[in-house]
Structure 1
Amino acid sequence: MKICFLMYPWERVNPESDSTLRLIHESASRGHTVAITTPGSLTIRDSVAHAFCSVLRKDMKISSSPATFYKQAQFNRAKLPLAGFDVIVMRANPPLDTVALNFLDSVRSDTFIFNDIDGLRIANNKLYTASFSGEASRYIPATHVSKNKDYLERILLDSASDKMIMKPLNGFGGEGVIVIEKSATQSFRSLLDFYIGGEGDGGNYVILQEYVEGAENGDVRILMLNGEPIGAMRRVPASNDLRSNISVGGKEVKHVLTKEEKLLCRHIGPKLVRDGLFFVGLDVINGKLIEVNVLSPGGITRINRLNRTKLQTKVIDFIENVVNTKDAVLERKNAFRKVIEDADAV
């Protein structure tokens, strides 16, 4: 299998904890041809989409340790046609590079893109949770999004709770997440000025979200593969911080999914699959879905360590099965076409 990882620069990989590295290492260990590239390396030549890639050398020994593999990795540089890959794994960090998706549009009929382009377009921001309906909607906390400061002030004042969560629409990694209390309404306007910025149609959108009880105790990161949970961990905030993201000082602890969390996954999973979002990270607090991470969901390394497992094997197994099925369908189609062509020759 020929697999391309469209990701952040190789030198930014943290070999001790990076989830993408675990996927790359697993692919290389199975003997697949592995290339890595970045959104800025995409190009078009003669109307054909290419990428300037770093291709892992076939003659290098693959260490059993992902961290050692990272240090020893050797690459050849080449400009390669994207349609030649069996799969392109999207692992670029937020925010979404929509231009990169435009490049991939031209090869989507030739190559399995994981996650799907259209799914990434509709789910790359925090508005995606508003699209869940039916039973799934009961797992979504009340969420308000606007850049109208008067409206947002009214939402806070009308809230049945004494506090709400505020965060920028396009933030990630816990960036800009704060608790707003009704008792601090005098400073709320200045916070809105800072978060939103420009007046009128300018400025940034802000999210005001129902405060979910228990948020101070952290959240649960659930990794979903093809609509099913494959692993989870609890992320506990650092002292004096609401945010439980590992990148801002939170720490991970072992977690077994509760009955309510399993029900949440069961109701959320089918829509994820319909939208082509095969590998995602759910952030859950007290049975409520806070965010869906679709670009480069992390947690593989930490969940592996806590549970003595290797989630990357399940992910690559899934990709192999999809590619093998597509190849079998194409082979069957070509065999039938040959039968028809031979009938003309009689």
Structure 2
Amino acid sequence: MKIAFLADPLAGFKIYKDSTFAMMREAAKRGHAIYHFEQGDMSLSNGAVVANAAQIHLTGDADDWYRSTDKVETALGEFDAVIQRKDPPFDMEYVYGTYLLELAESQGAQVFNKPAAIRSHNEKLSIAQFPQFTTPTVVTSNVTRLRDFHAEHRDVIFKPLDGMGGAGIFRVKDDGMNLGSVIETLTEEGTRTIMAQRYIPEIVKGDKRVLVIGGKPVPFALARIPQAGEVRGNLAAGGVGVAQPLTARDREIAETLGPILAARGLLLVGLDVIGDYLTEVNVTSPTCFQEITDQAGFDVAAMFIDAVEAALERA
């Protein structure tokens, strides 16, 4: 098969931990031809969605890990699968990219995750569809409502709806220190919608990434444990990742959401769980494949490529 990866520049990959690289390596191991293109390589030309894509050959050398052909303009429908792995920011350029990918689907392309499903599932706000698993939450740009939420719950996390890697997350404790400044900054003086959630003390044990592939949970989560007084467990914010078996609650959340999200076209989802609570539903470029595989011995990339192959057989 020919599998194309829409991803950020290959030169920026940290292959010792990059999940997209793990997907590529597993696909190549199975004899599939792998290709790469960036969002800016896509065009709508003469009615067809095309991309200037390069075929990638993995070298096995950690310092010089790939060789690539020259880019060739190729209709996305000519690939057996297109794997959407573009990282946020989820800005209008990202949205335009999903429109092109959706049009490519109508021309025969098989895209994972489905672009319309990515567009419809804000990674923060999607938890509201599953209130049985969430901590008290408010989403608003109204400064008074946010202040009232803090007054009720006393220890609150405030965060933007479009951040990644823990960016822009603030904790305001019972003393209300910097409450006004945090709310004014994040809402841009009441003009930008944000999320506030009651603080979950179990964050000290880790912000767990629970991967769900083809509607089924990976049996191990990666608990990203905050360090040095941080409130954020994100690896990008300095958290330390520890693989651990799913708890009964983790599995309950994953087995409830998995089939629902898979039916919507989300082949790969990264659920964030703190303690017993669902905090995010990651659909753009969920990661932690290699950390789980290295520590727990479960081959996440193999499960993912299995799911891609099965989806193509059903198509």
TM normalised by structure 1 equals 0.85
Aligned partner of 1:142 among 136, 139, 144: 136
Structure 2 residue matching 1:21: 3-state secondary structure:
helix
Partner amino acid, structure 2, of 1:121 = R
CA 45–76 in structure 1, closer or farther in 2 if over 3 Å, else same:
same
CA deviation string 1:264-292 (max 9, x = no partner): 11212122112211101111011111111
Preserved contact between residue 43 and residue 49 of structure 1 (Cα < 8 Å): yes
- 1:73 and 1:308, CA in 2 relative to 1: closer, same or farther beyond 3 A? farther
Partner of 1:27: 27
- The answer to whether the aligner puts 1:210 opposite 2:198 as a matched pair is yes
1:295-306 pair list within 5 angstroms? 295-306=284-295
1:95 aligns with 89
Q: Per-residue deviation at 1:15?
A: 1.5
**Which structure 2 residues correspond to residues 279-294 of structure 1 after superposition, within 5 A?**
279-294=268-283
Deviation at 1:66, TM superposition (A): 7.5
> CA offsets per residue over residues 200-253 of structure 1, 9 Å max, x none?
xxx322211121231233221111101111131211111110111111111111
Q: CA deviation digits over 1:72-94, x for unaligned, max 9?
A: 42333111111111111010101
Structure possessing the higher radius of gyration over alpha carbons: 1
Task: Provide the rounded CA distance (Å) in 1 between the counterparts of 2:229 and 2:61.
Answer: 34
Q: 1:239 aligns with which of 215, 228, 238?
A: 228
Residue 310 of structure 1, CA deviation: 2.0
The equivalent residue for 2:176 is 184
How is 1:100-111 mapped onto 2 (pairs within 5 angstroms)?
100-109=97-106, 110-111=108-109
In structure 1, the residue corresponding to 2:270 is in which secondary structure? strand
Q: 1:104 and 1:295 mapped to 2: Cα distance?
A: 14
**Contact residue 5 and residue 36 of structure 1 kept, 8 A:** yes
Partner of 2:110: 112
Contact 2:102 2:116 in 1 (8 A): no
Per mean C-alpha deviation after superposition, the further-off stretch among 107-116 and 240-249 is 107-116
- Kept after mapping to 2: 8 A contact 1:233/1:254: yes
- Paired with 2:123 and 2:299, the residues of 1 have a C-alpha distance of 28
Query: Which shows bigger deviation, 300-309 or 210-219?
Result: 210-219
Kindly indicate whether the alpha-carbon contact (under 8 Å) linking 2:205 and 2:223 is maintained by their aligned counterparts in 1: no
> Cα RMSD (Å) of the superposition?
1.7
Per-residue CA deviations over 1:100-146 (Å, capped at 9, x if unaligned) read 011112221412211112210111331111122xxxx3111221111
Residue-by-residue CA offset, 1:289-309 (whole Å, 9 max, x unaligned): 111111110100100110123
The whole-number CA distance in structure 2 between the counterparts of 1:142 and 1:270 is 25
Aligned counterpart, 1:76:
70
Q: Which consecutive unaligned segments of at least 5 residues does structure 2 have?
A: none
Task: Give the Å deviation of 1:180.
Answer: 1.0
| Counterpart residue number, 1:219 | 207
Letter in 1 for 2:197: Q
Match of 2:62 in 1: 67
Distance 2:283 2:25 in 1: 21
Give me the whole-angstrom Cα distance separating, in 1, the residues matched to 2:79 and 2:68. 20
Secondary structure at the aligned position of 1:234 is classed as strand
Post-superposition shift, 1:198?
4.5
Give the aligned partner of residue 156 of structure 2. 164
Any conservation in 1 of the 2:203–2:226 contact (CA below 8 Å)? no
Percent pairwise identity = 28
* Contact 1:196–1:205 (8 Å) recurs in 2: yes
Q: Give the alignment's TM-score, normalised by structure 2.
A: 0.93
- Which one has a larger percent helix, Structure 1 or Structure 2? 1
CA distance in structure 2 between the partners assigned to 1:75 and 1:311 by the alignment? 28
Per the alignment, residue 129 of structure 1 pairs with: 127
Give me the whole-angstrom Cα distance separating, in 1, the residues matched to 2:71 and 2:122: 30
SS at the partner of 1:108? helix
